[in-house]
């Protein structure tokens, strides 16, 4: 096997491993993309070919590399204030919430490297709910979760952040951290990140007032898409908000979703409607 090709049988084995861990199915038409994303790992491990890399992935002691495989093949496109209308919805909702003394809990599902969760915190920090708030991010890729936990980003990620937000919530890196910026501790302490597969129930996360489920359902077939939405709704409080990506369809996944506007829904389960 050459450095830049995968035989079909090897591609099938590799993508089956990826699908078993993420639920995302990659057809052979994604061959070029898969090869392009794996070549950096081939070079990093000082291997001569993709064939050698597949042998390495099969080794029982290479679990860390299999985790990196998930990170390499998962799309992690994200940014601060991406799809900004959702943050306007969040701001308006948070201002309308009646104080209960309990902290608001927001779930950034498929959080990638954490910019979405940090944006949520910036919005809520300005609204300042009396009971405080917590933002929980989950992602299926362990390495990207570790990056999110650091709350450190390349300077080019400042796109979308106003100078006022940067001054209030961020610090520019110096010395070895030059070229990066990080969140101030006052904001970072509101965030927590963990590995989580949306195809599996997540009871340990507790209940949430709002769930951001954006730009993830598009990667799944209908059966898995419905399973993900069902798992997410189990974690959403009655009356809570579900915010999917603007290109995603969720209405066929549950009759308990009441549309509030473009890509914004209130969760109203049957028991709540009856009451």
Q: Give the active site residues.
A: 37, 139
Question: What Å distances lie between residue 18 and 10, 24, 157, CA to CA?
Answer: 12, 7, 28
Burial of 178-215, coded b for 16+ CB within 10 Å and e otherwise, reads: eebbbbeeebbebbebbebebeeebeebeebbbbbbbb
> Residue 74: what are its φ and ψ, rounded to 5°?
-90, 135
Q: Is residue 169 within 8 Å of residue 122, measured between CB atoms?
A: yes
Per 3-state DSSP, the chain is made up of helix, strand and coil in percentages (nearest 5) of 50, 20, 35
Would you give the DSSP letter of residue 246?
T
Query: For residue 173, how many other CB atoms are within 10 A of its CB?
Result: 16
Q: Is residue 75 within 8 Å of residue 219, measured between CB atoms?
A: yes
Burial class of residue 3, CB neighbours in 10 A (0-12, 13-18, 19+): middle
| CA–CA gap between residue 67 and residue 87 (Å, rounded) | 32
């Amino acid at each position: 096997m050459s450095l830049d090709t995968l035989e079909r049988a090897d591609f099938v084995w590799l993508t089956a491993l990826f699908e078993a861990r993420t639920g995302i199915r990659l057809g052979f038409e994604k061959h070029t993309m898969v090869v392009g994303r794996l070549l950096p790992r081939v070079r990093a491990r000082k291997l001569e070919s993709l064939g050698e890399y597949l042998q390495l992935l099969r080794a029982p002691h290479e679990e860390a590399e299999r985790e990196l495989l998930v990170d390499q093949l998962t799309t992690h496109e994200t940014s601060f204030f991406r799809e900004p209308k959702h943050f306007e919805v969040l701001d308006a909702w948070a201002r309308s919430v009646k104080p209960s003394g309990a902290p608001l809990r927001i779930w950034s599902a498929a959080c990638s490297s954490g910019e979405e969760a940090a944006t949520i915190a910036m919005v809520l920090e300005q609204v300042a709910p009396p009971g405080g708030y917590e933002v929980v991010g989950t992602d299926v890729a362990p390495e990207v979760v570790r990056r999110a936990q650091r709350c450190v980003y390349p300077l080019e990620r400042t796109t979308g952040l106003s100078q006022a937000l940067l001054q209030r919530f961020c610090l520019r890196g110096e010395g070895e951290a030059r070229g990066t910026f990080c969140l101030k501790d006052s904001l970072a302490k509101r965030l927590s990140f963990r590995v989580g597969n949306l195809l599996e129930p997540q009871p340990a996360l507790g209940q949430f007032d709002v769930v951001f489920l954006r730009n993830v359902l598009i990667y799944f077939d209908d059966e898995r898409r419905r399973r993900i939405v069902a798992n997410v709704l189990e974690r959403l409080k009655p009356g809570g908000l579900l915010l999917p990506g603007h290109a995603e369809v969720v209405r066929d996944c549950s009759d308990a979703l009441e549309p509030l506007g473009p890509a914004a829904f209130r969760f109203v389960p049957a028991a709540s409607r009856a009451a």
